Amino acid sequence: MDSAGSRSFRPEYRLRKTDEFSSVFALRRTQRSRHFVLHHGPSGCDGARLGVVVAKRFVKRAHARNLLKRIMREAFRHIRPELKPLDIVLRLNARPDPLDRRLLRAEIDALFARVRRQDTKPITTEAVS
């Protein structure tokens, strides 16, 4: 497969079902930034998968929510080959004013970089009470 194909965002790289999202939230492993929270946990699949959450209460307009989702997916698409098998939920946690694409992308890239660095450490399975 060529490098362009390895950086695509195929359907198997997406979290879709409620129980997939719930299992990531239950692990309580998070990285935070000014506007986003990144939840992550080990994946049962071959590679990293992404789910995005952009609540209407933070961004009222549909076109702005869709823009944010595109930015989130694009950032993941570029870093995915460098990640170990993880399930990731990237969630908007605060209203971004103004909606600056470059700043938001830089913030998301920094979150993924933190997860990638943390990803090099061995994953320990702990009992969540």
Using CA atoms, how far apart are residues 47 and 80, in angstroms rounded to an integer? 8
Q: Is residue 125 part of a domain?
A: no
According to the model, what pLDDT value does residue 99 have?
Answer: 87
What is the pTM (predicted TM-score) of this model? 0.80
Q: Is residue 104 part of a domain?
A: yes
Residues sharing a CB contact under 8 Å with residue 40, sequence separation 6 or more, in sequence order: 24, 27, 29, 30, 31, 86, 87, 88, 89, 115
Its domain, for residue 79, covers: 3-119
Q: Which of 41-50, 69-78, 82-91 has the highest mean pLDDT?
A: 69-78
pLDDT digit string, tens, across residues 9-48: 777 888 888 888 888 888 888 899 999 999 998 887 888 8
Q: What is the CATH number of the domain that holds 37?
A: 3.30.230.10
Q: Once rounded to an integer, what is the mean pLDDT over residues 74-103?
A: 90
Q: Is residue 21 part of a domain?
A: yes
Q: Is residue 127 part of a domain?
A: no
Using CA atoms, how far apart are residues 102 and 121, in angstroms rounded to an integer? 30
- Domains identified in the chain, total number: 1
Q: Is residue 124 part of a domain?
A: no
According to the model, what pLDDT value does residue 129 have?
Answer: 40
Q: Is residue 55 part of a domain?
A: yes
Q: Is residue 128 part of a domain?
A: no
Q: Is residue 62 part of a domain?
A: yes
**What percent of the chain shows pLDDT beyond 70?**
84
According to the model, what pLDDT value does residue 6 have?
Answer: 58
